[in-house]
Structure 1
Amino acid sequence: MIRNVYYQIGRQTYDAKRITLYLNSIGMKCSVKKVRRYLKIADLKPINEPIKRKQNGPKEYLKGKYERLFKYPFRTRYPNQVWVVDITEKHYDNNIYYLCTFKDIFTKKAVGWAVNQMRGFQLVEAAFFNAINHNLTENILKELIIHSDNGTEFKGYQYNRMLKYAGCQISMSWIGRSKDNPHIESLWNIYKKEVLDKSEYTFDEFKYQTNLYFNWYNLERLRI
């Protein structure tokens, strides 16, 4: 049963804690220790298992263009309080595909995303409107903080005008400090391992697999 959950339910992404949580939810009582021991014997490891990196010493950081309203660890109390946004890219031969995603740090869901073969404000704009089209009211938008890094798209006039017109508050990481935006970094980490590392994609396949993955991520993937 553990093997079935690992391959069929978790799609090779569930660790011992998530497998145990799923088994307990369907009435099969077991411990994390037992599941972890089985996975070790069967040599089953989640494909998104984090890589341990060497920690660097203290570093000086510069402030971004906008004030850092979102400071990790930030405790949210309800959905649509803080969204984080970023752009990632994937190289396939001579092609580069770009993905922009907005993520709600309370629900841990990707609330809006867009893919394109070109990077720029239009990519961010498409992802933003994909997010706010989910029945968000004007009052919710006025309370919403949207946090990003110091990417060119997020420092531009068009991005500022779009969020200000919607009534959202802009927050920006300090320059070179990835720890200011850990929620989106963790999303990229699992997305790239669970989707992009599997095969080569045409742009249409890349777009289809991304939509398929985020729908599964939002609706079915267990959260701890």
Structure 2
Amino acid sequence: MYDIIKSIWQDSRKTYGAVRIHKKFRNYNKSDDIKEAARNILKRNFDTEKLNEKWVSDITYIWTRKHGWCYLSSIMDLHSRRIISHKVGKFMDIKLVIDTLKMTIYKRGDITDLIIHTDRGSQYMSKEYRKFCAKKGISISYSRKGNPYDNACIESFHATLKKEYVHNENFENLESLRSGMYEYIEIWYNNSRIHSKIGFTSPNEYEESMKKGNKEIA
């Protein structure tokens, strides 16, 4: 419930007070379409057989001196643990998550039979997001209420990002944060940081090995 309320407040550009948030929350809970759509397809089964079978996504908060809280949206491929795409913005809104997803689809191409799993944040539960996924043929999976472990892999990535990098930095503004996220994710995490789940290789190395036909390196 707290995550939903916080998301509603962020979606309003931090302008809604208690009365408007309460009204929005009541309408949110009354939506039969949303309740019907909010299925947990993944069910903590993080095992995969190929790339673009299961993606997981989430948003995390990072502080900057000039722009205050900014938001990092990330999408991970569970097969390679690669962060396929990430996007940093000043607002935790629907545009942020859809733009991240568009970028990921552009990079990957073939998304036949894809499942994407997220928490129940209002951005992911929005009609715009669900309509976009339906148009692309993507099956949506949602964590159960109050079960962050349902999205453990991307939650763990964001925790690692903060422990290894963010907590040791002092970002001036949005642009310095974007630069820092690119450096950590694309140069370090995807390219060099090894993972036990993929045979102690980096995500990029693992994907390259698959392209060469050596799929059983783990």
Report the TM-score when normalising by structure 1.
Answer: 0.67
Please give the per-residue CA displacement for 1:71-111, whole angstroms capped at 9, x wherever unaligned. 11332111111000111011235601101001011100101
Letter in 1 for 2:145: I
Q: Please state which structure has a larger fraction of its residues in helix.
A: 2
Query: Paired residue for 1:101, among 70, 74, 78?
Result: 74
Q: Is the 8 A contact 1:64 1:174 kept in 2?
A: no
The question of 1:212 aligning with 2:183 is answered yes
- How far residue 169 of structure 1 moved from its aligned partner, in angstroms, is 0.3
User: CA offsets per residue over residues 115-136 of structure 1, 9 Å max, x none?
Assistant: 0011101110121122111141
RMSD of aligned residue pairs (Cα, Å): 1.6
User: Identical aligned pairs, as a percentage?
Assistant: 26
Say whether residues 1:121 and 2:94 are aligned partners. Answer: yes
Query: Is residue 2:102 matched to residue 1:132?
Result: no
Unaligned runs of 5+ in 2: 1-34, 197-218
SS of match in other structure, 2:163: helix
For 1:1-224, what aligned pairs fall within 5 Å after superposition?
65-93=37-65, 95-137=68-110, 141-201=111-171, 202-215=173-186, 216-224=188-196
**CA contact 1:83–1:104 (8 Å) conserved in 2:** yes
Measure the CA separation in 2 of the matches of 1:204 and 1:64: 39
User: What SS class does the counterpart of residue 134 from structure 1 fall into?
Assistant: helix
Number of positions where the alignment pairs a residue of Structure 1 with one of Structure 2? 159
Conserved in 1, the CA contact under 8 Å of 2:74 and 2:87?
Answer: yes
Quick check: 2:118–2:151 contact (8 Å CA) kept in 1?
yes
Helix, strand or coil: the match of 1:78? coil
Runs of 5+ unmatched residues, structure 1: 1-62
TM-score between the two structures when normalised by the length of structure 2: 0.69
Distance 1:113 1:64, change over 3 A: farther
| Distance in 2 between residues matched to 1:100 and 1:199, nearest whole Å | 19
